[in-house]
Amino acid sequence: MKTKIFSFVLMFTTIVSFAQQDAQFTQYMYNTININPAYAGSRGALSIFALHRTQWVGLDGAPVTNAVSVNTPFYGSRLGLGVSIINDRIGPIHENTISADLSYTVPTSETVKLSFGIKATANLFDLDVSRLNPVDNDPSLQDYNNKFSPNIGAGVYLHSDKAYVGLSVPNFIETNRYDDNEVAVFKEKINYYLIAGYIFDLNNSIKFKPALLTKMVKGAPLQVDISGNLMFNEKLVLGLAYRWSAAVSAMVGFQVSDGLYLGYGYDLETTNLDNYNSGSHEIFLRYELFRKNKKMTTQRFF
């Protein structure tokens, strides 16, 4: 299949597959369950999370992501359970990912816990050829509707009220999303994640949390996200982040009530792509019920 439209599909999906494999989140520290199943239940509450992200505003076909998740501990046991749904749209590509997470937590000391998690995922992949405006009527280029592929993942998460570090692989199976003559046009590769963060008490009313996310994908540059957040009176959170050679971000969050937290993030590209878009916007809310320890879940802000 050597048509102009095939070349476009190949170019577009190659960019997507190498530049952005899994859905990208600036405020990943509040949405950790999507990359590490061991996070399920770690906040000691029934935690409901919803996020909307519009990336590269003004660029036609840019990514738009919606994510919803629920995770909770099984009270009276060491188990945690999570369910999440991610809807990701990039140009002619439309993906729905549904995941179930199970964690098991072992206390390693009075203040530190080690959690192990497994993730089972179902992915539904759509390719809408009509959005490509093909110049040739190539019968071999066809729509893909709800192309199903399963996957499995795992992670470990060491955490306390003040710190965390996690290592995870959300998807162990490399999946060819679209094939032609046994050549993968879009291939979902294995993503490796390392996250870490620590909370410093600057005084009685201000806390500072530096955090790190590193993401490694074969064939792509190492992605490093560095962030710093300040929490004032356990209510207002202000932060800055830098995605290495990609973007700078500003973040703000507010604890509206004991259970409700709202957050917003804005990314500004530091690459040549900045000439073609006006940045990325991300907004989320988290609502929590049945907390085991009210103070613990508010003061950590992760």
- For residue 76, is it left (φ>0), alpha (ψ between -120 and 50) or beta? left
Q: Does domain 35-131+147-289 have CATH number 2.40.110.10?
A: no
Which pLDDT band, with edges at 50, 70 and 90, does 42 fall under?
Answer: very high
242-254 average pLDDT score: 94
Digit-coded pLDDT (tens) for 150-197: 999 999 999 999 999 999 999 998 876 655 555 455 567 889 999 999
Q: What is the pLDDT of residue 7?
A: 42
Q: What is the pLDDT of residue 302?
A: 84
**Burial (Cβ within 10 Å: 0-12, 13-18, ≥19) of residue 248:** middle
Adjacent-strand bridge partners of 93: 90, 127
The 3-class secondary structure across 43-98, one letter per residue, is CCCEEEEEEEEECCCCCCCCCEEEEEEEEEECCCCCEEEEEEEEEEEECCEEEEEE
CA distance 36 to 121: 13
CA atoms within 13 A on the CB side of 83: 1
Which pLDDT band, with edges at 50, 70 and 90, does 31 fall under?
Answer: confident
Eight-class DSSP state of 229: E
Residue 26 or 184, more confident: 26
DSSP string, 287-301: EEES-S-HHHHHHH-
Q: How far is CA 262 from CA 140, 164, 190, 256, 299, in A?
A: 47, 22, 31, 7, 15
Where are the domains positioned within the chain?
Answer: 35-131+147-289
- For residue 182, is it left (φ>0), alpha (ψ between -120 and 50) or beta? left
Eight-class DSSP state of 140: T
CA distance 103 to 73: 9
Q: What is the pTM of this model?
A: 0.85
